[in-house]
Amino acid sequence: MASTQAQKVASSADIDLEDSAYYENRELNYFKFNLRVLSQASNPKHPLLERLMFLLIFSSNLDEFFEIRISGLKKQLDFGRQRPGPDGLYPEQVLKEIHLQVSAALTEQYRILNEDLLPNLASQNIHFIPRHEWNEEHKAWTRDYFDSEIQPVVSPLGLDPAHPFPRLVNKSLNFILSLDGKDAFGRESGLAIVPAPRSLPRLIKVPSEIAPEGDNFIFLSSIIHAYVDELFPGMTVTECHQFRVTRNSDLEMSNVEVEDYAMALQGQLHSRRFGAATKLEVSIGCPEELTDFLLERFNLTSDELFQLDGPVNLQRLMALYGMIDRSDLRYPQFSPGTPRLLEEDSYIFAAVDKEDQLLLHPFQSFIPIIDWVRQAAKDPTVLSIKQTLYRTNESSELVEALAEAARNGKEVTVVIELRARFDEEENINFASTLQEAGAVVVYGVMGYKTHAKMLLFVRRIGNSLKRYAHLGTGNYHRKNSLLYTDYSLLTSDEVVCADVHKVFQQITGMGKKIHPNLVIHAPFNLRKSLLKMINAERDAALAGKKARIVAKMNAITDPDIIKALYGASMAGVKIDLIIRGICCLRPGMAGVSENIRVISVIGRFLEHSRVYYFQNSDPQVYCSSADWMERNLNNRIEVCFPILKKKHISRVKAELEMYLNDRGQSWELNSTGEYRSLENTSPADESLEDVQMLLLKQLF
């Protein structure tokens, strides 16, 4: 067998792995992920309100896609950087294809909303009352709401030389109007802009005395539209249409001094709201002369215009989820489980002293990690606490516990990543809270995002010091721990804890490259180590030994890693990749990737854990904060930590196999770059159905 594999590799020697045919485009593949999210909105296996949430998550994802990735492509064009990616496509080609696909997807999104979700919500006595269905009571109530809530705060803007086109905030709801007549000053203003007040809710519940049957709602946009002529007395409103502009929101920070970094970032946060436009959405039926006017003002092309058959700010419908008390329309509630040792001994240090604890959230609770910090804050044997924070809760119990520890005289050092996208302002506030309590706050290393999830305690036990660590694949975020799948390791292994200590020292201090014993870290040796482990599987296969790789993560885009995986596949290594989002690798190509399988799991919980399994001789399992992307391997501080206990290795391997056997919520990527749903593709067998629900049953 070894000679057969060697012959295969020899016959593949003339294959050029630089060929663009072997790579998916990053942006286009990401959009395929978002289409998989959208598909869940029409999947009857999900409760009705959850289906609506999938529809709205699609909108949220699409906004961020245009704010970050599309703005990046547009910048490349502006700067004349016309260079193709590994997939062979130029930025201009990618933009054109994305605009076509987004247009089709938005049409489908609003079809699902109007023809599926809204009628089904109505059948459940949940109604959105359009203007043409208002009765006299509705009209009286909406008129009163307009007079008392909207008119006092709205600022209508007629457009003329003294009133130039306003700077409109990113993703804000606005109206463009055509007017006839003259105002009190004798001015003839053909156009006006009415920004919807940002302080008001976009979805308003109609009082039960007005609409006693069921739950009834009216959009703020409907009320403004109904009475907008009152903002222009004596003039006639001939056209009124909603619109919304999405802007570049990617912050650009120069290498300012660390002591000025938070202040400089705060300045950037304000300007983010007014970045260059990337997308214009208008209500369907808006006349061409008005859309052309808006496109010109926002410096956009007709390809960047999207006409929508419904509210242009659909994401604001997320408020509905908390406004309706209908458990029958939601996923069943669950309480995460807790491992036996942590239940028996609520003092976390004692439980970890007995043995390492491996948790899989949300199926197992994140509360022990929060409790660990709380207990450490009060424990007189704890001398110091070090922690990284990338994203955390708005009102974070962890931040309060760390602040309490500092106030109690412990040495508390917190590495806060100020550039965690869209959480920058919150993290600046957390930094201030911790500094005021006496903690040492570090903003990481200039030029590198600190994405590692690490927590380290040092205790005095008798005459010696002992270290404990928490390492995770996800953020220290209690709310997200109920929504995202992530692994947590609680350990007192001296070698692992010493490695974590070294990584902290490297981040907070200065010095030469460190050399941890077991923990692998980026940007120093993670890429090299991954390539070494992949190539070891390749060499094992060539030698006729068993070889297998199973890796689960959010995305894989790094060309070097992909080439190594192709090489391992050509040598006969069986490779299974569980990639929720972007996958630039193409599986199933004859002679190159026929031994690689790629699936994506889209379900109730967001798949977020990063886990790597290498079978070669002695199976190795690693968990990590890093995806296999250039940014993670080159430009971020990441940690990849080993799972050392045999029973934990077996458990993780079994859980990975459950994902690979899923037929309830998986999609399989083929050699042409298309995803096929695997739902209902196998005989009825509970072991093949919905891995997330199976894990809930097992770990609950």
User: What positions carry a catalytic annotation?
Assistant: 451
**How big, in percent rounded to 5, are the helix, strand and coil portions of the chain?**
40, 20, 35
Separation of alpha carbons 170 and 191, rounded Å: 21
Handedness of CA 81, 84, 64, 396 (dihedral sign): negative
CB of 454 closer than 8 Å to CB of 388: yes
Q: Strands across the sheet with 215-219, in order?
A: 126-128, 215-219, 203-205
- Residue 171 — left, alpha, or beta (φ > 0 → left; ψ -120 to 50 → alpha)? left
Locate 629 and state its tokens.
């992307």
DSSP string computed for 446-475? TTBEE---EEEEEEEETTEEEEEEEEESS-
CB of 597 closer than 8 Å to CB of 587: yes
Separation of alpha carbons 218 and 202, rounded Å: 9
DSSP string computed for 462-510? TTEEEEEEEEESS-S-TTGGGTEEEEEEEE--HHHHHHHHHHHHHHHS-
Nearest CA to 671 among 24, 27, 12? Answer: 24
SS (H, E, C) 665-686: CEEEECCCCCEEECCCCCCCCH
- Residue 155 CB-density burial (10 A; 0-12 exposed, 13-18 middle, 19+ buried): exposed
| Rounded CA Rg of the chain | 28
Cis peptide leading into 91, omega within 30 of 0? no
CB of 117 closer than 8 Å to CB of 52: yes
**CA distances (Å), 413 to each of 172, 235, 450, 521, in order?**
39, 63, 14, 20
CB of 493 closer than 8 Å to CB of 519: no
Hey, is 696 helix, strand or coil? helix
